[in-house]
Chain A
């Protein structure tokens, strides 16, 4: 028990240390005026002027069109897999609806997968389509955060930066060097990195074992640093080739938290409001610890139904105990719980255990975090989501004390609040709307792997994951049907752009306003009180919306489990 708590403390301390290092670096990347040589060459190649600023609308349109081009190129790559090189196993192209779903999924930083990597994608597709989209999609998110923070930091300004500069710098100065170095550490730990597709061995008992290989290490790094989450293999980061040791598990966790957490510090640096940055970091961390304690307790306590048939789930020096169905021994309960919390907080969606087999309250945590979508959150967008709730908190406080709300020295007015509410509401409308549609759609129940309340959770999880751009799954659900491929594809697009674009608009509007000096009547936002209020607003506004749906899924299932009811 103590050793598990120390393990959590060690990793979270490492994360906090990295917040400062990475935060400083990100602030320099976002604000530096000089361009390196490769960057200047790239701008000349693209035909763009890196020193020209963009207003929020121009920034947003450029981002959207650039993502559309990535999506299209990715779609073509998947459809043409059959005629592309590096496909010795002769894997066929994905069907149109599946290729649409996959391309959308990786462009929007969701990485939902309705296919199995080892039987569906060639080494070429894994690199040129999937690795490329993971880089591009994640860099887009960080670029948006750069523009967003820049907007908040400016006054009387009509531009929020240049999309091409942000995108290129994030790739050249953050993703590529980090990923390359980390990939070599991963290979050292046992993750393969080869252009060979497979190897066949003869086991000690004389059976042939056909082992799929590929460029896995270079895939794993950007998958986690970019909060992407799609697996090279079907079983994702539970597969020993994707996550062979406790060290890789820890590095995956730290990689996922790296940029979402560091953005709070970068924000503090860029606005010269360091304390405010730490208040936002604190808000993230408080929620994270709350969810971690729920999932760890639930999984360590285990499933009483397994005990009743003779399985020993008690923790001892010689076993981790707990609910080990769908988990890997080398991570145990503690490593798995931290991974589950991190992957759905930082909306990565990589999994080192099967979420479908978590205990009901263990499964409640990923669902709830994707619904709130602002416990660290994905690269870039998580921070934007938190600010969205912070603005809402300022507004509600302003209502209560009867003053016009101000945030970071800017007056918050009707236009900003309308945009914030559009972004806040798009999330539950997509999740609950599509879930309702799916429950009523004929034939959907054939896709379920589990009967009872758990079956409902499988559907709810799919749309929560798609909309939150997470990508993890209650993977028993057979989501490779035209209905799921299309609706989850739409949910991913809504979840990405209907929150990103309104919030870019908010940043643009705030940038154009003048900054008011703090007065005695200003509600201070760099305080623990405001941190508490923001968390409260997230839980009340974000959480209560979903409570009825959660009650039908994990909560009912928890009562079923305690009552010993089987389905």
Chain B
């Protein structure tokens, strides 16, 4: 028993000192050193890749944001708290595959997607356009989804469909090394490019 006490007493210093020391080293030293290096090398990215337009911060190049107006391409459904694309509180539906709420929500989104884009009542709608993303901040849509929205945006902006198709093509990214990830369209970047071609005040008139 005294042996046990002795060995416990001998543990006190190493345990206390190492715990506090490692907290300072791995909990403060390491993140702070990384922050310093990142801010020195890549300050824009380290601060969240915030995109400016005419001196105004309009969003992050990495995050999605909500678009509802018909002259913009629309992102995937988002079910974050309070409002869609709430970047202060990422969130998903977490509805299971046999949950009636999920199936009803998808059915409703299919209907409104078809109505918005003037599609026939039996047009299959790309799955990404009617399902909520995991983060609620998904910046991308599939090329199939963008293609079905193209006519609406072209009409709203009085652009020719072929002109818009070229722009869409230029903003479609492929797979990394031809293998990793999925072909996708970053909605914010595409809409910024649209506005750059034609100011938002003119569009929608």
Contact = CB atoms under 8 A, between A and B. Distances in A.
Interface string B164-202: 000000000001111111111000100110010000100
B176 A204 contact: no
A179 B38 CA distance: 13
Interface residues of A, number: 129
A210 B13 CA distance: 45
Interface string A233-258: 11100111100111101100000000
A233 B47 CA distance: 16
Name the interface size band of chain B: 35 or more
A38 to B, nearest CB: 10
B183 to A, nearest CB: 7
Q: From DSSP, what is the main secondary structure of chain B's interface residues?
A: mixed
A132 to B, nearest CB: 3
Given A240-B63, A250-B180, A474 B94 contact: yes
Nearest to A127: B31
Nearest to A211: B87
Interface of A: 3, 6-7, 10, 42, 45-48, 58, 61-62, 65-66, 69-70, 73, 116, 118-119, 127-129, 131-132, 135-136, 164, 167, 171, 175-176, 179-180, 183-184, 187-188, 190-196, 198-205, 207, 209-213, 215, 217-219, 222, 233-235, 238-241, 244-247, 249-250, 302-303, 305-306, 309-313, 316-332, 335, 351-354, 356-360, 449-454, 457, 474-476, 557, 560-561, 565-567
Contacts of B98: 305, 360, 452-454, 557, 560-561, 565-567
B97 A203 contact: no
Contact of A202 (B27, B57, B60, B92): B57
Contacts of B141: 329
A207 B83 CA distance: 11
Given A324-B131, A331-B181, A454-B98, A202 B23 contact: no
B88 to A, nearest CB: 4
A171 B46 contact: no
B33 to A, nearest CB: 7
Contacts of B144: 312, 316, 318-319
Closest 6 CB pairs of A and B: A246-B181, A132-B27, A476-B94, A238-B134, A312-B124, A332-B182
A326 B92 contact: yes
A397 B185 CA distance: 56
Contacts of A302: 127
Contact of B26 (A118, A176, A196, A566): A176
A3 B26 contact: no
A464 B13 CA distance: 36
A244 B135 CA distance: 11
Contact of B181 (A171, A317, A335, A360): A335
Interface string B44-66: 01111110000011111111111
